[in-house]
């Protein structure tokens, strides 16, 4: 027992000591929920498969790629990026759901690490998203998507995707604490993320967008991760103009994820501590 007077806001040594195990306990608790409400996972998987099939068969013939190449190979990294951008929504909804219940008071009244509750949420969501990503990849393989650049670059792409999803989860943590109910959380998350995924190169090649929109889409984080995956995996990646994001998509993705985590993790933790003070 340290005799030093500790501030309630500043984490003490004791707190750091339990942060890892507390985070694991919270992660365990969140993952337990998945098999207990199987409908959630089943419909998330069906939705992912549906997206792959709809885009592959409906848009596949209508969108020609500048420079040629298979639309389906072009499409799949976009689908991965879109689905994992929605990690923010998954996390936001999970957060609101917890915050609305009396359960949150119990967590707050426990001598656990203050950040474990939300860190555990982001970790369990990454594991959940990995599951979704695997289903998406299998569906992609079924419609003709292939990776051409070897195992290392394939795994690098998977890691980058999960890192991106993790960063989006932190956006979701913050969003989840701003909104009063699950329903509002759903609306807000979808309203914010749909334009993000459609104003990008995920489904259409950038050169087909109006000129004024191209820089917006070019700097969009969803475009960055999509282009990064296409580049890593040797999938078609047509770009109109040359710009920093289009020339360094992997670096751009890393910058975006770092920015998201650096901004939203402290905001989320602070908001969690401040709620109902």
Residues near another protein (CB under 8 A) are 5-8, 12, 14-15, 18, 21-22, 25, 28-29, 32-33, 36-37, 101-112, 276-277
| Structure-token pair, residue 14 | 């004791």
Contacts of 201 (CB under 8 A, 6+ apart): 78, 217, 223, 226, 227, 239
Residue 109 CB-half CA count within 13 A: 5
**What's the min distance (Å) between Cβ of 27 and another protein?**
11
Q: At what angle do helices 150-178 and 221-233 cross, to 10 degrees?
A: 160
Exposed/middle/buried for 24, CB within 10 Å: 0-12, 13-18, 19+? middle
**What's the min distance (Å) between Cβ of 110 and another protein?**
5
Nearer to another protein, 6 or 47 (CB): 6
Nearer to another protein, 43 or 244 (CB): 43
Q: How far is CA 33 from CA 41, 123, 124, in A?
A: 10, 14, 10
Nearer to another protein, 61 or 277 (CB): 277
Exposed/middle/buried for 74, CB within 10 Å: 0-12, 13-18, 19+? buried
**What's the min distance (Å) between Cβ of 112 and another protein?**
4
Contact 90, 129 (CB under 8 A): yes
Q: In this structure, is the dihedral angle defined by the CA atoms of residues 173, 178, 183 and 189, taken in order, positive or negative?
A: negative
Nearer to another protein, 12 or 47 (CB): 12
Nearer to another protein, 178 or 199 (CB): 178
DSSP label of 147 = -
**What's the min distance (Å) between Cβ of 114 and another protein?**
8
Contact 76, 52 (CB under 8 A): yes
**What's the min distance (Å) between Cβ of 191 and another protein?**
24
DSSP label of 58 = I
Nearer to another protein, 22 or 218 (CB): 22
How far apart CA 166 and CA 90 sit, in angstroms, is 11
Nearer to another protein, 84 or 112 (CB): 112
Task: Give the residue carrying structure tokens 């195990």.
Answer: 21
**What's the min distance (Å) between Cβ of 251 and another protein?**
39
**What's the min distance (Å) between Cβ of 45 and another protein?**
19
């Amino acid at each position: 027992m340290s005799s030093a007077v500790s501030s309630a806001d500043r984490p003490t040594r004791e707190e750091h000591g339990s942060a890892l195990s507390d985070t694991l306990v919270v992660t365990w608790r969140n993952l337990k929920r998945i098999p207990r409400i199987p409908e959630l996972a089943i419909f998330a998987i069906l939705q992912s498969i549906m997206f792959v099939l709809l885009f592959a068969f409906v848009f596949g013939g209508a969108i020609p790629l500048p420079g040629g190449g298979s639309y389906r190979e072009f499409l799949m990294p976009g689908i991965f990026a879109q689905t994992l951008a929605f990690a923010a929504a998954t996390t936001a909804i999970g957060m609101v759901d917890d915050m609305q219940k009396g359960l949150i008071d119990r967590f707050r009244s426990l001598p656990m690490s203050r950040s474990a509750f939300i860190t555990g949420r982001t970790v369990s969501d990454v594991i959940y998203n990995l599951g979704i990503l695997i289903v998406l990849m299998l569906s992609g393989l079924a419609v003709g998507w292939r990776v051409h650049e070897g195992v290392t670059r394939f795994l690098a792409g998977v890691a980058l995707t999960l890192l991106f999803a993790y960063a989006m989860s932190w956006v979701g943590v913050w969003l989840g604490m701003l909104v009063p109910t699950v329903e509002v959380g759903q609306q807000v998350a979808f309203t914010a993320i749909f334009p993000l995924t459609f104003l990008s190169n995920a489904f259409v090649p950038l050169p087909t967008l109006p000129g004024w929109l191209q820089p917006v889409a070019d700097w969009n984080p969803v475009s960055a991760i999509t282009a990064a995956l296409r580049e890593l995996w040797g999938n078609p990646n047509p770009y109109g103009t040359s710009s920093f994001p289009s020339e360094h998509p992997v670096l751009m993705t890393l910058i975006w994820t770092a920015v998201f985590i650096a901004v939203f993790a402290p905001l989320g933790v602070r908001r969690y501590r401040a709620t109902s003070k």
